[in-house]
Structure 1
Amino acid sequence: MKEKLFPLFVLLAAMLWGTTGTVQTFAPEESNPVAFGAIRLAIGGLSLLIFVSIKGTLKLSSWTGKEVWIAALCMALYQPLFFSAVYITGVAIGTVVAIGSAPIMAGFGEWIMYRRLPPRKWWLATFFAIAGCSLLFVNEESITVDPIGILMALGAGLTFAIYTIINKPLLAKRSPEEAVAVVFTLGALLISPVLFIFDVSWVMQENGLTTSLFLGVIATGLAYLLFAKGLREITASTAVTLSLAEPLTATILGVFIVGELLTATSWIGVSLLLFSIILLAFSPKKNLVLVQAKANRNHDKA
């Protein structure tokens, strides 16, 4: 497999994540975002668990160790933290802080684990990506800065960064589909109590069932499977920055499907995000693959 495909897997995953907001507009009005997050996690994990069970590649006896539970806990916490942050402090601040903080946290997380900071190109791409993401939402609504909402948004960014970093050693010895299936199924079990707090009867409606299945199987299961495939050969920091294609996709879908209008400032944000993605996705092999190989060697020595 050619090395240039690995970042494209991550980009495709982010594009699938970006469909979430648009698809949710077709869900029943009484649906709750936090419950939706728990349901999509459960459907995504179980669908992949069935897939690997049919293939006969699932070996539960090998799934021991704290890394598995940490990754599952991060996925379980990300859903309520992100949606609560958006609810408390608004879409603009909540999204920018959560998604924008994740690459920085992943970069420093790699430094802690591998004693290696990302290359300059990554810092440049990440700066433009965060700036672009900020411009996308700057005119979205009146800005409300709530300390609790900010903390929850930072928590969401941190959990996604930790999940990505922890996933690296898990993928070193297991297939991407097995890794995602087990982690997401455990994550769904951990977050399942929220299903007893919120009304989920809307899932049985036709549009509730179809949107849940799409978000669970396609925008969660398939998306994270692609993300894991790309993550095996590129650094965690690069993968998290490339995942900023999510708000870009959501914005474009909002324009062409929902009929939203973008301001000139938002279009500048789109351009900056595209520039950052191209800068990373089409980097030379040595920046994406050889750097990761060096990180793996350092990790093995630790």
Structure 2
Amino acid sequence: MTSRKRTAGAWPLVIASMLWGTTGTAASFLPGNVSPLAVGAATMMFGGMLLFAISARTAIAALQNAASRRWLVVGAIGVVVYPLAFYSSMSLAGVAIGNVVSLGSGPVFAALLEWAFERRRPSRVWAVCTATALTGIAMLAWGSDRSEGALSGQASGDTMAGIGLGLLAGFSYALYTYSSSRAIRAGAASGAAMGGMFGFGAVALAPLLLALGGPLLQSATTVGITAYLALGPMFTAYIFFGIAMRTLHSSTATSITLLEPFVATLLAVVVVGERLLTVGWLGLAVVLVSVLALATARQQRPALESP
């Protein structure tokens, strides 16, 4: 595969990140009686079912293959934990802080996983671009309007718990990103890896949705928002995510997805009406430049594993 094709593998992830960036704004329109756990469970469960449905035959084959199955099962743990921790983090600490901690910690955890399992050290380009993007995200958080409530519309004041959940979300995101790359390198097709991993996670999330998901059906608006979250930021975005993971290391992938807070902040300003200070606008520019630099840098394709 040429270096141009390897670099082009980053662009599906840019599209996925833009879709993920709409999550906070869409979820902010849900009424306060909707639990963030229900939102996370519904999004991942329905999206995961669709991902499995479009690749059922190959996904089942990937789950039957011992080399890829172990990584798909590990990744499914991250799939289950991530949405529950992510939406709860935004509910407790606010949309800006929840996004910053969850997405900002992802690249660090991904790099640690690659070092722990492969002794792979991050490249200098990755380190510089990721550090710069994280600086921009910190500027974004500092420059965001803090007068807005949390995702549920009521700030709980339990910011530290929200930050802790954000760190858990970041680790979970890195875990299923890394696991999907390992499953693909073990021979599973990207669609099969996404279908197997998210389908497995969907089964695990079903009981929680049955227990807490009633308020999601209270109106056409709540049903519509839930459907969008499942079809857009979940189903469609993870198809692009799977395409990107054919050629990207997980640490690079999680760094590129730092574009999500950029998109989320722009939508919060344009759609929700939140304000952004000058330092926030500068942070937006820093994030955009850093992610574009990483997306256009030459990427070394992960090697295929032996079963």
Same-fold status (TM-score > 0.5):
yes
Counterpart contact for 1:68–1:183, Cα < 8 Å = yes
Q: Which residue of 1 aligns with 2:128?
A: 124
Cα gap change, 1:38 to 1:49, in 2 (>3 Å):
same
- Asked if 1:141 is matched to 2:146, the reply is yes
- CA displacement at 1:156 relative to structure 2: 1.1
Residue in 2 aligned with 1:150?
163
Q: 1:160 to 1:21 in 2, by over 3 A?
A: same
- 253 and 63 in structure 1: CA distance in 2 versus 1, 3 angstrom threshold: farther
Answering whether residue 293 of structure 2 is matched by residue 292 of structure 1, we say: no
Q: Which residue matches 1:282? A: 296
Q: CA shift at 1:58, angstroms?
A: 4.4
Q: Choose the corresponding residue for 1:7, options 3, 10, 27.
A: 10
CA contact (8 A) 1:105 1:158 kept: yes
Larger mean CA deviation between 71-80 and 141-150 belongs to 141-150
Q: Partners of 2:111 and 2:65 in 1: how far apart? A: 27
Task: Sort the Cα spacing of 1:145 and 1:281 in 2 relative to 1 into closer, same or farther, 3 A.
Answer: same
Runs (4+) off by over 4 Å: 142-147
TM-score if structure 1 supplies the norm length? 0.87
Deviations 1:162-202 (CA, angstroms, capped at 9, x unpaired): 11111112123222222212211211222233224425243
- The change in CA–CA distance for 1:187 and 1:22 in structure 2 (over 3 A counts) is same
Structure 1 residues 171, 283: CA separation in 2 closer, same or farther (over 3 Å shift)? Answer: same
Unaligned runs of 5+ in 1: none
Per-residue deviation, residues 24-80 of structure 1 (Å, max 9, x unmatched): 244445322220111111111112222224xx5443462553322211111101112
Distance 1:132 1:162, change over 3 A: same
Match of 2:264 in 1: 250
Quote the Cα distance in structure 2 between the aligned partners of 1:151 and 1:23.
Answer: 23
The structure 2 residue matched to 1:227, chosen from 210, 226, 241, is 241
Give, as a single letter, the amino acid of the residue that structure 2 aligns with 1:141: R
Aligned to 2:79, which of 61, 67, 75? Answer: 75
Match of 1:164 among 163, 172, 177: 177
Contact 2:33 2:215 in 1 (8 A): no
- Residue number among 196, 200, 204 corresponding to 1:190 in the alignment: 204
Q: How far apart, in 2, do the equivalents of 1:49 and 1:186 lie?
A: 9
Question: Are 1:51 and 2:64 matched, yes or no?
Answer: no
CA contact under 8 A between 1:171 and 1:228: conserved in structure 2? no
Per the TM alignment, residue 117 of structure 1 is displaced from its structure 2 partner at its CA by 0.9
Partner residue, 1:208: 222
C-alpha contact (below 8 Å) 1:10/1:242 kept by paired residues: yes
Q: Deviations over 1:115-174 (max 9, x none)?
A: 221111111111111111111122442897854433322211111111111111212322
In structure 2, the partner of 1:21 is 24
Paired amino acid for 1:39: A
Q: Work out the CA distance in 1 between the residues paired with 2:232 and 2:95.
A: 24
**Any idea what SS the aligned residue of 2:212 has?**
coil
Identify which range, 242-251 or 140-149, moves more after superposition: 140-149
- Name the % identity: 30
Residues of 1 paired with 2:189 and 2:254: CA distance?
Answer: 20
Letter in 1 for 2:261: P
Partner of 1:62: 64
8 A Cα contact 2:93 2:163, kept in partner: yes
Aligned residue-pair number: 291
Moved more, 21-30 or 103-112: 21-30
Match of 1:179, SS state, is helix
Q: Could you tell me how far apart the structure 1 residues matched to 2:218 and 2:165 are?
A: 31
